[in-house]
Structure 1
């Protein structure tokens, strides 16, 4: 910055303020996706947990909360439900018996296999009409932004 006072939001405009745009996009994405999840018998926290567990092997509960961007209390309730449905299991950490790792079961992987096409289609709708190069550049920018603001190393 050149030392001048930052321009006000009224000068910039909401549609040029990235956090506003990101919130609008994710709010709309989540609202539309919740309807699809309900049809699959899932909630957003349960779907996020299954998605992460399909690619991250046996994270600690706290790590899973970070990956799923879910409050730990909300995640805990979702994990209770997923465990009751035999879609995940909790295991004591090998090096710290007080720590709990979350493992997706074969049944959980099957539910995620049904969920994935919905997630993929929702992302494709968001990127409709956007060329592949722009999409890749946007994703790379988001990854850099996440590094800039993250509080956790994951």
Structure 2
């Protein structure tokens, strides 16, 4: 691979795994999730449940379809996770005021407490990923990821 060759015309073998962003992003997220698995298990959380609580700690009362987008979780997996979270008293579902067919998800105080217990581990895992990377470089990288998401997203959120 040389700098003159358009990447879209190259085969994966020519690019190499260590130069292929989707591979690197999958590896990073796989390691990130694995680093949280033990702490999550201790709280009775799976990755989909953790993602839902994380989003709900920041985004107030999203519709279920919005939550599926934010959590990058397919609707059937999210539905099962929400059933479990609701049974555990960590979330509740409410009918949308504007559309009675739509359902919003609300984090409960118990859900917020569970997420607050997990957050330090999540923050440490995030910090480990950026160890040795200057803040300016981290900000530029996150900005690049935001642009990439805009390039490929199918939803407004």
- Normalising by structure 1, report the TM-score: 0.93
The Cα offsets for residues 38-74 of structure 1, whole Å up to 9 and x where unpaired, read as: 1222111111101100110100000000000011111
Match of residue 133 from structure 2:
130
1:50 alignment partner in structure 2: 53
Cα distance, 1:134–1:101 mapped onto 2, change above 3 Å = same
Task: Select the residue among 139, 147, 151 that pairs with 2:150.
Answer: 147
Tell me how many residue pairs correspond in the alignment: 154
Say whether 1:27 aligns with 2:9: no
1:2–1:124 Cα change, 3 Å:
closer
What TM-score does the superposition give when structure 2 sets the normalisation length?
0.92
* Shift in Å, 1:2: 7.9
Which stretches in structure 1 are left out of the alignment for 5+ residues?
none
CA distance in 1, matches of 2:106, 2:81: 14
Q: Please, which runs of 5 or more residues in structure 2 have no aligned partner? A: none
Aligned to 1:101: 104
Match of 2:121 in 1: 118
CA RMSD of aligned residues (A): 1.8
